[in-house]
Amino acid sequence: MTTLKIRPRRMNDGHHTGEKIHRGSRLAGRCEGGFWRPFDKTETGRLLQAAERYDFQSRPKGRRAGILGHVGLEVLRELLRLVDYKTGRLEPTIETLAERLKRSRASIWRALKALRFAGFVDWIRRYVPTGETGFGVQVKQTSNAYRLALPKVAERLLGPIFGRRPPVPADLAFAAAERAHQSKVYAFEDSGLGAAFARWDSLMRKRGLSERVETASDSYLELSGAGKREQ
């Protein structure tokens, strides 16, 4: 009778293990430093709104859901509840999400893959040592490290002003600039520098070196700091 010897699988870091580990998994606690990043809590509304619009735009004709689907949107909302905004740390297990959302494990996994395809979520597969002794270093799969993001294609669906301060209309901007200019002129006249400038301009005209009064007055104000007293 022939006895087959099963060689333990070799990990990327050279450790031996008999556990089934997903390809590309990395050691938990050492791979998240450059992956996790702080998440602005005020961006939560924009991210959800973008996901909802993205899902609506991707709906096939006659269907009620798009690429993300109802479960995908539920999973995204739950991830936003679980994320540590200060550090970006986010590492729930599939089982945790399934239990919290009352969905099957398979549904959660399909939703996560849809979110990753669309660019709203990314993750790193991870493993941890088991602490068991034996041949080589024993490890096991652990939860993924997740990261949230707002993809550009979905952000464009929000429009230019959703969640952002709208730009100042051109007529209002012109009026504000005109008021600022008039303020400088009044400060110039009230400061008593107007008469001095008039004498200076008369002298320059006689020498043929005069420039436009408006340009010279603005330059003189900036150099003298007369306009600052009005602010």
pLDDT of the residue at 219: 47
Identify which of 67, 89, 107, 74 has the alpha carbon closest to the alpha carbon of residue 148: 89
pLDDT over 90 (residue 159): no
- Mean pLDDT of the residues in the chain: 76
Domains of the chain from N-terminus onward: 9-158 (1.10.10.10), 170-230 (no CATH)
pLDDT at residue number 208 = 55
Q: Does residue 6 have a pLDDT over 50? A: no
What tens digit of pLDDT does each residue of 167-213 get?
444 455 555 555 565 555 555 455 555 566 566 566 656 555 444 44
Instruction: For residues 110 and 74, give the distance between their C-alpha atoms in angstroms, rounded to a whole number.
Output: 12
Whole-angstrom distance, CA of residue 138 vs CA of residue 117: 33
Residue 166: exposed, middle, or buried by beta-carbon count in 10 A (0-12, 13-18, 19+)?
exposed
| pLDDT computed for residue 20 by the predictor | 77
Tell me the per-residue pLDDT of 74-103, one tens digit each, with 9 for 90 and over: 999 999 999 999 999 999 999 999 999 999
Mean pLDDT for 64-78 is: 95
Three-class secondary structure of residue 43 per DSSP: helix
Give the whole-angstrom CA distance, residue 138 versus residue 130.
6
Higher pLDDT, 113 or 211: 113
> Are the C-beta atoms of 166 and 209 separated by less than 8 Å?
no
Per-residue pLDDT at 184: 53
Contact 51, 120 (CB under 8 A): yes
pTM higher than the cut 0.75:
no
Q: Which of 58-62, 71-75, 136-140, 186-190 is the least confident region?
A: 186-190
